Chains A and B, each alone.
Chain A
Amino acid sequence: EADIYQTPRYLVIGTGKKITLECSQTMGHDKMYWYQQDPGMELHLIHYSYGVNSTEKGDLSSESTVSRIRTEHFPLTLESARPSHTSQYLCASRGQGPNTEAFFGQGTRLTVV
């Protein structure tokens, strides 16, 4: 069964705090992605990875950083949270081949106060 997990689901944090959003998948996918999405709006790709030790910035500039030390794990870190970072963050993974679908986690809704 395809599983991809994000924690926490909801997070309210003060300005200036460092936070890490967790994303793990059990499907052995090499490709993983982070999207930022404001409520009811389109998805913006902020980071992606093609495998261990591979990370790239996406189309939307983001102050966050990512790491990929293990295949199954792709955490996203904000060193100093700001109210402008308030959004929903979606993690996804995808298998090999252009005909494969991406699997999404349930998302983390971040609010910075």
Chain B
Amino acid sequence: AQSVTQLGSHVSVSEGALVLLRCNYSSSVPPYLFWYVQYPNQGLQLLLKYTTGATLVKGINGFEAEFKKSETSFHLTKPSAHMSDAAEYFCAVNNAGNMLTFGGGTRLMVKP
């Protein structure tokens, strides 16, 4: 079964600094990968997804992620963090039966 691992349950950056949230997947077939964001007391919102084609995927709020098959990674980046980016981020992979399997989440904290 496909799975995802998010390295770092907490990441802290300064406002204006690069954001890098790590996600590694395991899959025996070409994966479909997703990044979601969750603000406090809210549901999850899709940031971006990789299906096929271009390996660099652009999403909402200035985020992007690059699918690297050789590294089995799908890391999320943003060049310059804003205070409003503070949230919980989840990586997910499509699994058997069209189920989404989520990673454990990474809490992003942005310092002024």
Contacts and interface: CB of A to CB of B under 8 A. Distances in A.
Given A40-B107, A42-B103, A101 B43 contact: no
Interface residues of A, number: 23
Contacts of A98: 32, 94, 98
Nearest to B96: A98
Contact count band on B: 20 to 34
Contacts of B34: 101
Nearest to B49: A101
Contacts, number: 53
A105 B90 contact: no
Contacts of B94: 98-99
Nearest to B52: A99
Interface in B27-75: 32, 34, 36, 41-46, 49, 51-52
A106 B43 contact: yes
A87 to B, nearest CB: 13
Interface of B: 32, 34, 36, 41-46, 49, 51-52, 88, 90, 94, 98-100, 102-105, 107
Interface of A: 6, 31, 40-43, 45, 48, 90, 92, 94, 96-99, 101-107, 109
22 contacts: A31-B98, A40-B88, A40-B105, A42-B90, A43-B90, A43-B102, A90-B43, A92-B44, A94-B98, A94-B100, A96-B98, A98-B94, A99-B49, A99-B52, A99-B94, A102-B44, A102-B46, A104-B36, A104-B44, A104-B45, A106-B41, A109-B41
